[in-house]
Amino acid sequence: MKLFPWQNEKEFFTSEERDQIVEAIRQAEMRTSGEVRIYIESKCSYVDPLDRARELFYNLKMDCTRDNNGVLVYVAIHDRQAAIYGDKGIHEKVGSKYWRDEIEKMLLYFKKHHLAEGMVLCIADIGEALHYYFPYDQGTDKNELPDEIIFG
């Protein structure tokens, strides 16, 4: 999904890698009421990546989930920057150190040019945390946000 339809989708990932990332999101969300989204863009010039992630989080209306447990994984490929922004429900449970640790693990994969693999593992970890604090309830849970990767 593109935030703006006139933008060209960058070929950061192969078709198979995109499918793996989207499938990782779906698998993570199957066990939780939480929501995970991925936003990819080329650059994050002159802006702190966490500030950019926060801005996108609210622009994408990710703060409107029932349990305030949406998580945005933000990556600026060419600037080699990343951030994770979690809504207050999940952030209060895991804290800032958890997000920083996940970014560090993901960036280790990025340094080896394994972007998709790093993102899939990060999504799986986030899914586990969401499952622990916000387990899936078949009676009330629904997919509140799209699972596709957003290219900015």
**pLDDT per residue rounded down to tens, the chain (152 residues):** 444 343 445 578 899 999 999 999 999 999 999 999 999 999 987 889 999 999 999 999 999 999 999 999 999 998 889 999 999 999 999 999 999 999 999 999 999 999 999 999 999 999 999 999 999 988 888 899 999 999 98
Is the pTM for the entire model greater than 0.95? no
Query: ∠ CA 66-2-77 to the nearest 5 degrees?
Result: 100
What the chain holds in terms of domains, given with CATH numbers, is 15-133 (3.10.310.50)
The vertex-127 CA angle with 137 and 111, nearest 5°, equals: 170
